[in-house]
Amino acid sequence: MENLIAIENLKKYFPIYGGVLKRKVAEVKAVDDVHLNIMRGECFGVVGESGCGKTTLGKTIIRLLNPNAGHIFYRVPKEIVEAIKYLERNDPKSKALKYLLKEYDIAYLTGRRLKKFRRYMQIVFQDPSTSLDPRMLVKDIVAEPLVSQGLAKGANVGKRVVEVLELVGLSRSHLYRYPHEFSGGQRQRIAVARAIITNPEFIVLDEPTSSVDVSVRAQLLNLFKELQKKLGLTYMFISHDLSVVECISDRVAVMYLGKIVELAETYDLYKNPLHPYAKALFASIPVPDPTRRREKAPLYGEVPSPVNPPAGCRFHPRCALAMDICKRDEPPLVDVGGGHLVACYAVTEKE
């Protein structure tokens, strides 16, 4: 499969200001040194606890947030990525590198070029009751990306709006209504219509089903799958609901404290999680079978603060398998076979 998005060393730190002079006193390391590739046409799931940086990761990739460091390559040929990596290692101050970054790296886009790029990447937020402007008609909400990017004018806008509304299962009769006149599921459909109106290739779905009830959740998931097939979309599906992610994703990444600790194909990961954190996480999925007794892998303690993450492996204070090396060095993401990546010395050193 073709690589659509490649993310290298992505970092997003939020400053904390304190004191009388409002100086920066610390940083929340929300996303710290993340690498990942997203293939064209796949649904890439991201799971993790609240506060582990999954939403920040999604928003940074589509440049709603500015990354502190790292690269976001979108549809960039492998050779150029290689060239950039080579130059960074050997000649980090060269003009060629600067030019290549400016030309290809999403993380460096500004102004008009950033605006142009917006049409290819969109986002659907968690709660449609806050992500739709309460003072705007559905017609205007859905048309906004077209209008503000100058992609269509006049009657074409209206035509296209009706087209996408029909795609998401709404109709022409909903055009002249306000968001508060709709149910939760319908509102999320409006948000989806807004996201697909510019024909994007990549959509970040930021917990799009967690604000609706279960029956509507299933309908929305079917809608996402259907749209993916029809429009050839690539998704990044962020959620803390493991069963929803299992249902829709092709590959899943597990995040812990701003880092990806394990990444594998969905079936593989759910059946055989390797990282101790992932093990505990997947063991927590309730199984509706009273006779089955499962091996419990409880976790003790709390997630440490992302302001001062533990040295070495971030999971080591809570890990039953922690070794000396875990306290010193950060484990790299290593492929243990079949595209199953895991960042844990206890797993990779054993092999």
Partner 1 sequence: MKLPERLEPTIKEIKFILKRFKDSPLSIAGILIVLAFVVIAVFAPLLAPPQVYNPYLIPSDPELGYKIEPSPPSPKHPFGTTRLQLDVYYGCIWGTRWAFQIALEVIIIVVIIGVALGVISGYYGGIIDEIIMRFTDIILAFPGLILSMCLVAVLTRSGWLTIDAVLLSIIIIGWPGYTRLIRGEVLRVKTEDYIEAARASGASDLRIMFRHILPNTIYSLIIVASLDFGGIVLTAAALSFLGLGAPAGFADWGRLIYDSMQFVAGGLKWWWVYTYPGVFIVLFVLGWSLLGDALRDVLDPLYRRK
Task: Name the burial class of residue 207, with classes exposed (0-12), middle (13-18) and buried (19+) by CB atoms within 10 angstroms of its CB.
Answer: buried
Q: How far apart are CA 207 and CA 320, in angstroms?
A: 31
Where does this chain touch partner 1 (CB under 8 A) — which range of 81-89, 125-133, 223-231, 301-309?
A: 125-133
Smaller CB distance to partner 1: residue 132 or 269?
132
Residue 106 is a binding residue for partner 1 (CB under 8 A): no
* Between 131 and 341, CB nearer to partner 1: 131
332 binds partner 1 (CB under 8 A): no
Please select the residue that binds partner 1; options are 101, 137, 216, 321, rule is CB under 8 A.
137
Q: Is 127 in the site for partner 1 (CB under 8 A)?
A: yes
Binding partner 1 by CB under 8 A: which of 118, 169, 184, 228? 118
162 near partner 1 (CB under 8 A): no
Query: Is residue 130 part of the contact set for partner 1 (CB under 8 A)?
Result: yes
131 or 209, CB closer to partner 1? 131
Through-space distance between the first and last CA atoms of the chain, rounded to whole angstroms: 28
Q: Binding to partner 1 by residue 222, rule CB under 8 A?
A: no
Residue whose structure tokens are 């709390």: 302
Q: Closest distance between partner 1 and the C-beta of residue 99, in Å? A: 25
**Nearest by Cα to 189 from 132, 133, 249:** 132
Among 27, 49, 144, 241, binds partner 1 (CB under 8 A): 144
- For residues 234 and 197, the answer to whether their CB atoms sit within 8 Å is no
Q: Is 313 in the site for partner 1 (CB under 8 A)?
A: no
Cα distances from 44 to residues 39, 179, 248, in angstroms, run 8, 29, 9
User: Based on CB atoms, which residue is closest to partner 1, 48 or 128?
Assistant: 128
Are the CB atoms for 238 and 54 separated by under 8 Å? yes
Q: If you count them, how many residues does the chain have?
A: 351
Which of 110, 148, 305, 308 contacts partner 1 by CB under 8 A?
148
Question: In the β-sheet with 251-256, what is the strand arrangement from edge to edge?
Answer: 121-124, 202-206, 234-239, 43-47, 251-256, 259-265, 341-342, 334-335
Cα–Cα distance measured from residue 199 to residue 233, given in angstroms and rounded to the nearest whole number: 9
| Residue 183 token pair | 């149910």
Give the Cα-Cα-Cα angle 70, 204, 32 (nearest 5 degrees). 30
Q: Least distance in Å: CB of 152 to partner 1?
A: 13
Select from 2-10, 69-77, 81-89, 116-124 the region that touches partner 1 (CB under 8 A): 116-124
Q: Which one among 15, 134, 232, 332 touches partner 1, defined by CB under 8 A?
A: 134
14 binds partner 1 (CB under 8 A): no
Q: For residue 237, with 0-12 CB atoms within 10 Å meaning exposed, 13-18 middle and 19 or more buried, which class applies?
A: buried
49 binds partner 1 (CB under 8 A): no
> Helix (H, G, I), strand (E, B), or coil: what is residue 229?
helix
Q: Where are the beta strands (DSSP E) in 179-233?
A: 202-206
Can you tell me which of 6, 26, 39, 64 binds partner 1, judged by CB under 8 A? 64
Q: Does 166 bind partner 1 (CB under 8 A)?
A: no
Rg (CA), the chain: 22
Site track 231-260 with partner 1 (rule: CB under 8 A), x = hit: ------------------------------
Residue 116 or 230 with smaller CB distance to partner 1:
116
From 191, 278, 346, 347, residue interacting with partner 1 (rule: CB under 8 A): 191
Instruction: List contacts with partner 1 (CB under 8 A).
Output: 62, 64, 115, 118-119, 122-123, 125-127, 130-137, 144-145, 148-149, 175-178, 180, 191, 194, 198
